[in-house]
């Protein structure tokens, strides 16, 4: 290997010498300098130096160039020798390193053979078992975490879906109530209230307003049944008591009507003013119990 590198360096010496010679060339003169030199030469009338002096100068220049070339060759030779020595040392170091490495491997192999293949196998199996245990533990932990996250996501998804359905149902109920308020015929109102009750079975307001529409159709018993259903859901519903009073008035059961009217007024004073304006309670206007109910203070003063 070292001989091959030396041969390559020897062949590269001429190329390096030519490269250095080219780099040492002086830069070309400018046109102004050339013109100045030509003008000075034309002015000269006789040679500057005698032939002997010129010969001496030329010999000295030749000797100087020879010495410089020899010095450059010597320097190149020294550089090449140093590079060859460095390469030789590097190759020797690499060879020694590889040799020592193989010695180390051989020694370790011998030790392993002395220890025994069984011990190595046991160590290998133990390492694998410990690794499997740790991996299984980590997998179990992450499975539990993922299961908990999945349950949370399912609960949130279910909650969001329930909220969405509730919002849709509320919007539908609002639209149905608006339609019922715009309807003029009692039969159409009853259909809308039935739709509302189909969506929300325990809607007391829908039951009482349906009773009002049924009463307009001349079905007081049906209206009374609807009001009783509303009171089963909300025993304090004042509008249900008021509609019962109207229903029993239509059935000429005035005592029952006065009782339920009293219950409605006790829960909401606004019904006291509606009694005189509601045509459904018109038959009660001549009943003496109505005056006592509407004007209890006058009864006390008398």
pLDDT by residue (tens digit) across 231-283? 899 888 888 888 998 898 888 888 888 888 888 888 888 888 888 788 888 88
Classify the phi-psi angles of 237: left when phi > 0, otherwise alpha if psi is within -120 to 50, otherwise beta. Answer: beta
Rounded to an integer, what distance in angstroms lies between the CA atom of residue 201 and that of residue 223?
Answer: 17
Residue 296: predicted pLDDT: 62
Rounded to an integer, what distance in angstroms lies between the CA atom of residue 207 and that of residue 230?
Answer: 6
Rounded to an integer, what distance in angstroms lies between the CA atom of residue 105 and that of residue 111?
Answer: 10
**Residue 151 buriedness (CB in 10 A; 0-12 / 13-18 / 19+):** exposed
Query: Residue 241 half-sphere exposure, CB side, CA atoms within 13 Å?
Result: 20
pTM (2 d.p.): 0.48
Q: Which of 29, 17, 13, 15 is nearest to 68 (CA)?
A: 17
Domain boundaries along the sequence of the chain? 2-20+37-115, 116-182, 201-301
Residues 6+ apart with CB under 8 A from 263: 238, 241
Q: Decide: 196 and 175 in contact? Cβ < 8 Å.
A: no
Residues 6+ apart with CB under 8 A from 271: 238, 242, 261, 264, 265
Sign of CA dihedral 248, 250, 254, 257: positive
Mean pLDDT across 224-236: 90
Residue 45: predicted pLDDT: 62
Q: For 141-176, write each residue's pLDDT tens digit.
A: 888 988 888 888 888 888 888 888 888 888 888 888
Instruction: Report the mean per-residue pLDDT for the chain.
Output: 79
Mean pLDDT across 181-192: 85
At the second CATH level, the architecture of 201-301 is Alpha Horseshoe (1.25)
Q: For 96-146, write each residue's pLDDT tens digit.
A: 888 888 888 887 777 776 666 666 677 778 888 888 888 888 888 888 988
Residues 6+ apart with CB under 8 A from 220: 246, 247, 248, 250, 251
């Amino acid at each position: 290997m070292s001989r091959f590198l030396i041969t390559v360096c020897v062949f590269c010496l001429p190329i390096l010498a030519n490269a250095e010679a080219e780099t040492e060339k002086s830069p070309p003169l400018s046109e102004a300098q050339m013109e100045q030199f030509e003008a000075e030469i034309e002015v000269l009338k006789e040679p500057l130096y005698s032939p002997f002096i010129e010969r001496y100068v030329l010999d000295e220049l030749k000797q100087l160039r020879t010495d410089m070339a020899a010095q450059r060759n010597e320097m190149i030779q020294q550089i090449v020798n140093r590079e060859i020595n460095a390469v030789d040392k590097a190759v020797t170091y690499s060879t020694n390193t590889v040799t020592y490495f193989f010695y180390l491997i051989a020694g370790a192999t011998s030790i392993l053979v002395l220890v025994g293949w069984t011990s190595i196998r046991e160590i290998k199996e133990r390492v694998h078992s410990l690794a499997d245990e740790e991996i299984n533990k980590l997998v179990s932990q992450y499975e539990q975490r993922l299961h908990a996250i999945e349950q949370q996501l399912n609960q949130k998804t279910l909650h969001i879906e329930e909220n969405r359905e509730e919002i849709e149902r509320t919007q539908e109920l609002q639209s149905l109530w608006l339609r019922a308020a715009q309807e003029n015929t009692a039969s159409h109102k009853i259909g809308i209230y039935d739709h509302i009750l189909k969506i929300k079975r325990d809607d007391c307001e829908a039951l009482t307003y349906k009773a009002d529409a049924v009463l307009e159709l001349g079905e007081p018993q049906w209206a009374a049944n609807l009001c009783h259903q509303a009171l089963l859901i909300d025993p304090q519903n004042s509008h249900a008591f008021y509609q019962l009073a109207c229903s029993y008035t239509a059935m000429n059961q005035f005592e029952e009507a006065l009782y339920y009217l009293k219950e409605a007024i006790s829960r909401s004073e606004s019904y006291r003013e509606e009694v005189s304006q509601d045509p459904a309670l018109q038959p009660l206007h001549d009943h003496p119990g109505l005056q006592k109910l509407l004007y209890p203070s006058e009864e006390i003063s008398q």
